[in-house]
Amino acid sequence: MNPYLYYKKHTSSVFGLPLAVLFSCMFFLFSAVSVAQVKSATDVSEIKIGEQITFQIEVETDSTDLVVFPEGATFLPLEVIETYDIDTTKNADKFNLIKKYGLTQFDSGSYTIPRQKIIINDKTLFTDSLKVMVNPVIVDTLKQGLYTIKPIISVEKSSSNWWKTLLIILLAIALVAALLYWFLWRKKPLTEEEKIALLPPYDRAKLALKQLDEHRYLEEEAYKEYYSELTLAIRRYLDEKVYDHALESTTDELISRLRLLKDGNQIDLSLETIKNLESIFKRADLVKFAKSAPDKELAKFDRKTIDEEIDHVKEVLPEPTEEEKLLDEQYKEAQARKKKRRKVIISTLVVVGLLIATFIGFGLKYGFNYVKDTLLGNNSLELLEGNWVRSDYGFPPIIISTPEVLKRIQLDSTQSENTQVDYTTFNYGSLGSNLNITLNTAVLKNQKPEDSINLVAVAEKAIQDLERKGVTNIIVKNEKFVTPNNAEGLKTFGYANFPIGTSDSFVEGEYILLHFTTQNIIQQIIIIWQKDDEYAAEMVARIENSVELKPTAE
């Protein structure tokens, strides 16, 4: 069969075209119509250094589509200074999403805003790249004079927030001192019991009888309580002034002791006084132990008798000698010193305990080494927690964050003229110190643009330079290094022994060499720190993660 007849027989056509071809064209047109439209533009094409460019992305899409606009450092070499909210407008059955970005650049030259990626559902679209010219600020030297660069001057480091820490410490000390004063050193108001205890024995005995009268023991026929307090008043007085076992002695033992003291001429008590005391003590024993109930009037008479006998005992007591007065005064002073010494010991223990508890508390939260280094001082910790500086060094600029500003090293101008390389060097610290940072930018004068620079060879030369400076036992490792803004270079790192100053001593340390190259320029960052210095290791990680290379203007 003729193939053409077979094709005609088994296909249909519209205006002479096969249906398959027609359907394919219709599907293509439908798909093209359904794809969202993306437009981009800038408000200006030229700016001066530091001025803002408004970059706009407009997407025409359906309301059900998910649109993701670019974020982050996708506009390099231009910097994003502001990101605006998305504006939405409706156009028939479509929506226009407008996203604006504020961009700028601080170096003059011609720059390209790279293509920006827009994600719509599962599809990826790109905007066009746009050229932007950044013009320098023209200075009229006829009106504005030119001046030489001022020399580097030292600036005192800011005091940071040390006063807050000092204030907290002073408040804590004041609080502890106030608590110690209030509970230990303050002269507290005396209680009634303490005031009574400070009275002389005679006054206390009289006060006890007065307090007995204020009770209603006799009206309530509480004879046991009445006689107990009555005899206690005279017994306590006798215990302090006559016989120091009067309180625990029985009636017979106490009366016998009083008779012996009288017979021995140690106290001139009358027989009547001893007899009256014996009678009242025995009657009190009957009331307390035999539940006897004496006449109320007799009880009142016994109270009056005890009052008189207390006076009689006082009258016959001998006056204390000067020696006894001195001993008594010495005893009081010894008691006062003992009490004061006890307060000092308690205060010391409280302060030491609080300090230990504070140290343990902060140690458990922040680590004991950190607390110890904070209290005693640690140079690496002070650098880590100080005010870091982020700055550009050399040209093309290397952007890096460091705990201190890197100082430019002035090279001998005559020496640089005779070499094939122009060096720009910035430095902090020295070999063997807790942290040493060196940043070099080398411009190769005779390097041809088509010749490539071998960074491995450059790293090997850097290791040789370290050996010439006295570094020994160098362990070398190499790996690829990429900065946060996607600049690629070579990382050389490892361990070594570094000399300390001009001495013959060495310290174990670690090092990192970062090398980058562009055209005839080699950029080098050297970081050296002491081994086992955890704070220095944290600083190095922070420094390494902060490195960015600023691209040159196109």
Phi, psi at residue 106, to the nearest 5°?
-105, 10
Nearest to 393 by CA among 552, 553, 549: 549
| 447-to-86, 421, 442, 525, 536 alpha-carbon distances in Å | 49, 10, 11, 21, 37
Nearest to 62 by CA among 98, 27, 97, 99: 97
Does the pTM of the predicted model rise above 0.75?
no
What's the farthest any 2 CA atoms get from each other in the chain? 168
DSSP summary character for residue 72: S
Q: Which two tokens stand for residue 78?
A: 């231009």
What's 438-473 look like in SS3? EEEEEEECCCCCCCCCCHHHHHHHHHHHHHHCCCEC
Per-position DSSP letters for 474-523, written without gaps between them:
---EEEEEE-TT--EEEEEEEEEEEE-TTSS-EEEEEEEEEEEEETTEEE
Using one digit for the tens of pLDDT, what is the confidence trace for 41-58? 999 889 888 888 999 998
Q: Considering only 110-114, 148-152, 198-202, 206-210, which range has the smallest mean pLDDT?
A: 148-152
3-state secondary structure of 425: strand
**Dihedral angle, C-alpha 217, 220, 222, 223, nearest 10 °:** 80
Residue with tokens 């008779």: 259
Collect all residues with Cβ–Cβ distance below 8 Å to 302 and sequence separation of at least 6.
227, 230, 280, 283
| 148-to-145, 151, 485 alpha-carbon distances in Å | 10, 9, 35
pLDDT band at 552 (very low <50, low <70, confident <90, very high): low
Alpha helices for 290-321 (secondary structure H): 296-316
Using one digit for the tens of pLDDT, what is the confidence trace for 452-501? 788 898 999 999 999 998 899 999 999 999 988 888 899 999 999 999 87
Nearest to 401 by CA among 303, 541, 499, 547: 547
Using one digit for the tens of pLDDT, what is the confidence trace for 191-218? 777 777 778 888 989 999 999 988 888 8
